[in-house]
Amino acid sequence: MQIDGKDIVLDAFKEVYKTLDNVRVFFAPGRVNLIGEHTDYNGGHVFPCALTIGTYAAVRLRDDDVCRFYSKNFPDAGIIERNTNETVKDESKSFTNYPLGMVAALKEKGFEIRRGFDVAYYGNIPNSSGLSSSASIEVLTGFFLKELFGLNISNLDIALLGQKCENEFIGVNCGIMDQFIIAMGKKDNATFLDTATLEYLYVPVKLDGYKIVIACSNKKRGLKDSKYNERRQECDTALADIKTVKSINTLGELTEEEFESLKSNIIDETCRKRAKHAVYENQRTIKAVTKLQEGDIEGFGQLMNESHDSLRDDYEVTGIELDTLVNAARKCQGVIGSRMTGAGFGGCTVSIVLDDCIDSFIDYVGKEYKEITQLDADFYVVEIGDGPLEI
């Protein structure tokens, strides 16, 4: 699959820049989170994995400080020209804000980006699907800049700069999960990450006859205009209320029992629900990893289901599209767990489905989804891949 992507991005480069001299090709994955949603900005745990689908870049350095961007996914935008010295977002320049935000973040950190570059991108992650196409292009850009300029920066630091780019340049207050897993992913493993300490553990995903199936709702949303930042704020308010009686740094420090005994201190009922999700989801994630390590896939699937229900009822980030996909999935034979993945408000679901049942799953869920929402869902049977690399 990576060979196809390489050819496609090289063709795109040649078509727009008319040469392939000195061009190098890089890849960064997309990601799916198996469990641990909206916990990463609450000091909790997440359990994502990198995918073999992702974003490709064909790139070569220039002799001046101009950056020219082209994306095979947004051909109508043509070549967009920018400059390595820009430090603020330009709404009119579409996707280029992600890579340029990375340039700005690296420079701010003291890395020398002395020359501009011509780049063509091609992604086979559906855009705005919740599989982190934006974090993928950020990490990819950080990674190829590291390689092209020989920068002394680790993949973990590229992830942290990616998050900074997203927070400060793009204006989305995301946590570290997406950039972390894209920069640090490992084939056939999910990563159990403690977002409070950045300690992590690779856990082999052995699904014995089951596969990970992603259903994309095709309900587009960008985090910028979603209620993502509002949810963060609600959690911060809940935390501040708890801090009046107990000294903690994050909601992720609390067990379910501690939360139950403290929750009356959270004044606003909505904020109380949000905090409940953050605390319970974190504990669920810890339990889910143990289940997987013990080979208890059914137990893991059950916790995935509980995760979705909590995101629907307490965190309220699912919506009719994701709920319909999940409800239909749970009616299918051979499905051991199904939940929304990523930020929510549209995007994708992730289900664990028995190999032999995948065709009937896709057929049934697709039909039921169309009937209820009038939208077509897309399905991806995915493999867990590595972090960024030159190909």
Give me the catalytic one of 178, 241, 314, 323: 178
Closest to ligand GLA by CB, 47 or 111: 47
Contact status: 194 vs ligand GLA (CB under 6 A): no
Distance of CA 247 to the CA centre of its chain: 31
Q: Dihedrals φ, ψ of 376, to 5°?
A: -95, 130
Contact status: 138 vs ligand GLA (CB under 6 A): no
How far apart are the C-alpha atoms of 114 and 108, rounded to whole Å?
Answer: 13
Closest to ligand GLA by CB, 99 or 347: 347
Contact status: 343 vs ligand GLA (CB under 6 A): yes
CB of 259 to ligand GLA, least distance (A): 19
Instruction: Tell me which stretch binds ligand GLA (CB under 6 A): 6-14, 36-44, 143-151, 237-245.
Output: 36-44
CB of 334 to ligand GLA, least distance (A): 27
HSE of 287, CA atoms in CB hemisphere, 13 A? 17
Residues 286-325 as x/- pattern, contact with ligand GLA by CB under 6 A = ----------------------------------------
Determine the 3-state secondary structure of 172 from DSSP.
coil
Count of residues making up the chain: 391
User: Which tokens in the block code for residue 27?
Assistant: 């890849």
User: Which tokens in the block code for residue 101?
Assistant: 């935000």
How far apart are the C-alpha atoms of 300 and 293, rounded to whole Å?
Answer: 10
Contact status: 175 vs ligand GLA (CB under 6 A): yes
Determine the 3-state secondary structure of 44 from DSSP.
coil
Closest to ligand GLA by CB, 86 or 178: 178
Q: Which of 140, 161, 177, 348 binds ligand GLA (CB under 6 A)?
A: 177
Q: Maximum CA pair distance of the chain?
A: 66
Q: Do the Cβ atoms of 361 and 326 come closer than 8 Å?
A: no
Closest to ligand GLA by CB, 178 or 368: 178
How far apart are the C-alpha atoms of 131 and 214, rounded to whole Å?
Answer: 9
Closest to ligand GLA by CB, 12 or 174: 174
Contact status: 279 vs ligand GLA (CB under 6 A): no
CB of 298 to ligand GLA, least distance (A): 24
Q: Give the total of residues touching ligand GLA (CB under 6 A).
A: 10
Kindly report each contact of residues 161-166 with a partner whose C-beta sits within 8 Å and lies 24 or more positions away, as own/partner. Answer: 161/102, 161/105, 161/106, 161/109, 162/102, 162/105, 162/135, 162/138, 164/105, 165/98, 165/101, 165/102, 165/104, 165/105, 165/138, 166/101, 166/134, 166/135, 166/138
User: Which tokens in the block code for residue 43?
Assistant: 């000091």
Instruction: Tell me which stretch binds ligand GLA (CB under 6 A): 173-181, 233-241, 304-312, 374-382.
Output: 173-181
Instruction: Tell me which stretch binds ligand GLA (CB under 6 A): 38-46, 183-191, 239-247, 354-362.
Output: 38-46
Which 59-118 residues touch ligand GLA, going by CB under 6 A? none
Contact status: 38 vs ligand GLA (CB under 6 A): yes
Q: Which of 37, 86, 194, 368 binds ligand GLA (CB under 6 A)?
A: 37
Annotation says 323 is catalytic: no
User: Which tokens in the block code for residue 248?
Assistant: 């903690």
Contact status: 174 vs ligand GLA (CB under 6 A): yes
Q: Which residues bind ligand GLA (CB under 6 A)?
A: 37-38, 40-41, 174-175, 177-178, 342-343
Catalytic positions are 178
